[in-house]
């Protein structure tokens, strides 16, 4: 039974180690119900495709793992697609060469491969911080991309199918299903895995381990001075982060039943995962997940509207970034920037003109700064 507690003067409830106010509990229930209703909602609308939402959730889940590094250790990884792709390719290799048909076994293989890869890359990368760490993760990610692209056993640029056994598809509960049923069942499997993953990540971020990571992220020298094993803690966080990427990659392979290097290991995919965390709000738990769905949805809608979809997506994302400076979830939650601005607007509607002038001046300053930087790059300093 939920235990009633007091949290900073606000009534809250604790259940299974999760502390929530009534408002947060209501949002949680709504979010879970909404996730499970997505297939029904998608069936009623031609503009909302289940496959797009599903893909966004998978990449968003990888961003949840990256967020552990970004939020607490202040480390930025430009190679997180390495773990996503490792999980995806481990699934494909097991299906093609070992004949593994069970979705559960395929996912276990993806988790094991991604965890080992994260452990190795972590040992080799975490001697450095800042820009050097970011570049090292990028280099390792591109190394894996080159290996997948150049090895015929991994399908080269064509990739590998995941269609094992006589059923020509991975088996759920030991059974082969029709394509439509398989799509829905794998979506529900993804939702369950995401909910479990979010619960585990919540517990991690409420533990002493999180406090140690925060101390390391704020000042490594001080953390080392008080006796924290800095490298060991950061390595553990890196491995956990890679594990989340591997789970997402394994699910991606099972859902798509085909993997290619460009879609799983290319460095632009690492950029997408990083941007999802920032777009959704890297200081929140579910922000990266929301960011993943929004980014994939915008890319899909943009392709249907115009051939210049990348430009259109970029413009929309710029508006979102400027409109939600702490990310979508971070700006919308209680006490966030958007709520504060809405309160100001309700009190004084005329403030819109002030915001308009401020936005115009800000844009003018940034354009001037960009042009100045471009002039210096092209013609040098006067």
Structure tokens at 92: 């494909």
Rounded to 5 degrees, φ, ψ at 79 are -130, 30
- Reported as a single tens digit per residue, the pLDDT across 318-342 is 777 777 778 888 877 655 555 666 6
Residue 346 — very low, low, confident or very high, per pLDDT cuts 50/70/90?
Answer: low
Stretch 115-123: mean pLDDT, rounded? 96
The rounded distance, in Å, linking the Cα atoms of 113 and 109 is: 6
The pTM (predicted TM-score) of the whole model is 0.86
**34-65 burial: b if 16+ Cβ within 10 Å, else e:** ebeebbeebeeeeeeebebbbbbbbbbbbbbb
DSSP code string of 81-127: HHHHHHHHHHHHHHHHHS---BHHHHHHHHHHHHHHHHHHHHHHHTT
Burial of 219 per CB tally in 10 Å (0-12, 13-18, 19+): exposed
pLDDT tens per residue, range 224-272 = 998 899 999 999 999 999 999 999 999 999 999 999 999 999 998 999 9
Q: How confident is the model at residue 145 (pLDDT cuts 50, 70, 90)?
A: very high
With respect to CATH, is domain 49-330 assigned 3.30.70?
no
Q: Which of 89, 119, 65 is nearest to 273 (CA)?
A: 65
Tokens found for residue 147 = 């290996």
Q: Alpha-carbon distance 190 to 203, whole Å?
A: 20
Q: How far apart are CA 179 and CA 64, in angstroms?
A: 29
pLDDT at 373: 78
DSSP structural state of residue 73: I
The CA distance from 97 to 242, in Å, is 24
Q: Distance from CA of residue 313 to its chain's centroid?
A: 18
Q: What is the pLDDT of residue 375?
A: 77
Q: Positive or negative, the Cα torsion across 40, 287, 21, 188? A: positive
Which of 110-119, 265-274, 281-290 is most confident? 110-119
- 8 Å CB contact between 72 and 213: yes
Residue 211 has pLDDT above 80, yes or no: yes
């Amino acid at each position: 039974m939920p235990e009633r507690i007091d949290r900073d003067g606000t009534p809250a409830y604790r259940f299974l180690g999760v502390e929530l106010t009534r408002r947060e509990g209501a949002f949680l229930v709504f979010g879970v119900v909404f996730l499970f209703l997505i297939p029904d909602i998608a069936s009623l609308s031609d503009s909302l495709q289940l496959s797009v939402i599903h893909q966004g959730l998978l990449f968003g889940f990888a961003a949840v793992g990256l967020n552990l590094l970004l939020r607490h250790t202040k480390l930025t990884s430009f190679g997180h697609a390495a773990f996503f792709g490792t999980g995806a390719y481990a699934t494909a290799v097991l299906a093609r060469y070992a004949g593994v048909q069970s979705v559960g076994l395929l996912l276990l293989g993806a988790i094991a491969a991604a965890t080992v890869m994260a452990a190795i890359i972590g040992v080799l990368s975490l001697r450095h911080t800042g820009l050097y760490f970011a570049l090292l993760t990028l280099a390792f990610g591109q190394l894996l991309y080159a290996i997948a692209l150049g090895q015929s056993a991994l399908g080269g640029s064509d990739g590998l199918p995941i269609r094992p056994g006589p059923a020509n598809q991975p088996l759920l509960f030991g059974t082969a299903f029709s394509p439509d049923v398989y799509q829905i069942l794998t979506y529900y499997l993804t939702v369950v895995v995401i909910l479990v993953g979010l619960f585990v990540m919540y517990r991690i971020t409420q533990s002493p381990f999180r406090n140690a990571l925060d101390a390391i992220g704020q000042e490594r020298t001080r953390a080392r001075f008080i006796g924290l094993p800095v490298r060991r803690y950061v390595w553990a966080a890196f491995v956990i982060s890679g594990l989340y990427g591997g789970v997402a990659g394994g699910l991606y392979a099972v859902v798509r039943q085909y993997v290619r290097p460009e879609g799983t290991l290319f460095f632009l995919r690492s950029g997408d995962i990083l941007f999802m965390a920032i777009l959704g709000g890297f200081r929140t738990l579910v922000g990266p997940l929301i960011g993943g769905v929004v980014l994939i949805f915008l890319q899909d809608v943009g392709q249907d509207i115009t051939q210049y979809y990348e430009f259109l997506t970029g413009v929309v994302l710029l508006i979102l970034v400027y409109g939600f400076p702490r990310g979508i979830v971070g700006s919308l939650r209680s006490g966030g920037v958007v709520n504060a601005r809405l309160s100001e607007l309700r009190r004084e509607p005329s403030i819109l003109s002030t915001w308009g002038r401020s936005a115009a001046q800000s844009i003018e300053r940034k354009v001037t700064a960009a042009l100045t930087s471009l002039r210096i790059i092209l013609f040098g300093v006067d």
